[in-house]
Structure 1
Amino acid sequence: MTAAQITTDPEGTRPRRRPATDLALIASFAALIAACALLPAIPVGGLVPITLQTFGVMLAGAVLGARRGFLAVLLYLAVGAIGLPVFSGGAAGLAPFAGPTVGYLVAFPFAACLTGFIVERLPRKRVATSIPLIFVAGFISSLIFIHPLGALGLAWRADMTIGQAFLFDLTFIPGDIIKNILMGIVATSVHRAFPALLPTRSASARRDTISA
């Protein structure tokens, strides 16, 4: 991102993003999530394979922030729902939303949003240097949204009890940890190269962060 892509308000105190830039970033990360989903998956019991989808989802939130991360994942889901083969294994249409993966798909935009929400509130000087903080943001979001909703989807569509579904979902935890570590590494690298990429909060919010 260049200086020409960011303007300031009349007082020159807050960066203001251009809508075209936001749209380009949202579309780019939707495409990135699709690319991650289409990479070879690791099958787990034949129901829900381990893919890099969640890596792309969390990275969208950590890099773009809550609102744009949410919209990027929502765009990815919409593109798949209308028939483009962007889901895991090249699946497309509404069928994935009626199968065992439905809970995970529904959880993705909310997980990206929460990851972005947390990262936006980290001290700006720490965002580009602290891989553990961004990892924690992504992993917490996974635990709050992806794993519970994913397990509920399995119980609903895979003929499992709630207990069986949550037990099965535990098989994804080790891979999730690895993917969130990688996400933290990539996100800190992006923020180091483009420090103005995250949305800028109000002056009062910035003062609260500094005083804390």
Structure 2
Amino acid sequence: MTGRFDPFGIAARPAGVRAALVLAGTAVLALASQISVPMVPVPITMQTFAITMIGVLYGWRLGAATVLAWLGEAAIGLPVLANGAGGLAPFMGPTSGYLASFPVIAALAGFLAEKGWTGERVVLSFSAHFLANMLCLAIGGAWLMVLLGVEKGLVLGVTPFILGAVLKSALAAAVLMAIGRRFIRS
């Protein structure tokens, strides 16, 4: 697609290279999951930062596929989630709403980037990441509200994560602006 934000030329790469990028992306997601601030019932991690960045850099389709592959690794027991978790338990407990949102937010960030919400357009880039983060909190928080009630779900699963969403969105926009500037110069 002409004008698409694709600084690494991923869209034009052969299928084998894209498959390798999926594996590399799952490794990045596993590492980002270990950058964690323990909280109950859901820890603060760098997962959403990595997920939205992969969505933007890989494009919405490959980004969502990468996140699904990472979740598949977790489901079969690999310790790729926060605090080294893996297996089916995280998909059935308090974190399951957030996990379900992850491929959706990768696709949303990637889709918005394909519409020009990235690179030099720093406010739109921030907005794309922030919207994706808020969607994650809405889906994850809704599941916690089912489990714990509305008030506890908001207090434990949404409110403490809003500042982090702002900071991660700003960091993502800044990184993508720098990547975009380098890409435009090349």
What is the TM-score with the length of structure 2 in the denominator? 0.86
Match of 1:79?
A: 73
Inter-partner Cα distance in structure 1 for 2:51 and 2:67: 6
Quick check: 2:91–2:99 contact (8 Å CA) kept in 1? Answer: yes
Match of 1:9?
A: none
The question of 1:155 aligning with 2:150 is answered no
The question of 1:146 aligning with 2:111 is answered no
Match of 2:38?
A: 43
The question of 1:137 aligning with 2:141 is answered no
Quick check: 2:126–2:173 contact (8 Å CA) kept in 1? Answer: yes
Unaligned runs of 5+ in 1: 7-14, 196-212
Task: State the aligned residue count.
Answer: 178
The question of 1:54 aligning with 2:29 is answered no
Quick check: 1:29–1:60 contact (8 Å CA) kept in 2? Answer: yes
Inter-partner Cα distance in structure 2 for 1:188 and 1:105: 28
Match of 1:210?
A: none
**Which residue type is aligned with residue 62 of structure 1?**
V
Quick check: 1:139–1:176 contact (8 Å CA) kept in 2? Answer: yes
Match of 1:164?
A: 152
Secondary structure of the equivalent of 1:48? coil
RMSD: 2.3
Q: Deviations over 1:29-76 (max 9, x none)?
A: 22111100012x2133x2111111111111111211110110111111
How far apart are residue 2 of structure 1 and its match?
A: 10
Secondary structure of the equivalent of 1:73? helix
How far apart are residue 191 of structure 1 and its match?
A: 3.8
How far apart are residue 113 of structure 1 and its match?
A: 0.2
Quick check: 1:82–1:92 contact (8 Å CA) kept in 2? Answer: yes
Match of 1:99?
A: 93
**Which residue type is aligned with residue 69 of structure 1?**
G
CA distance 1:93–1:57, shift in 2 (3 Å)? same
**Which residue type is aligned with residue 34 of structure 1?**
A
Inter-partner Cα distance in structure 2 for 1:25 and 1:130: 26
Percent identity of paired positions between Structure 1 and Structure 2: 34
- Residue 185 of structure 1: which of 151, 171, 174 is its match? 174
Quick check: 2:29–2:70 contact (8 Å CA) kept in 1? Answer: yes
CA distance 1:31–1:193, shift in 2 (3 Å)? farther
Who wins on radius of gyration, i.e. which is larger?
1
**Which residue type is aligned with residue 72 of structure 1?**
T
Q: Summarize the alignment of residues 18-33 of structure 1 with structure 2, pairs less than 5 Å apart.
A: 18-33=14-29
How far apart are residue 194 of structure 1 and its match?
A: 4.7
Quick check: 2:63–2:110 contact (8 Å CA) kept in 1? Answer: yes
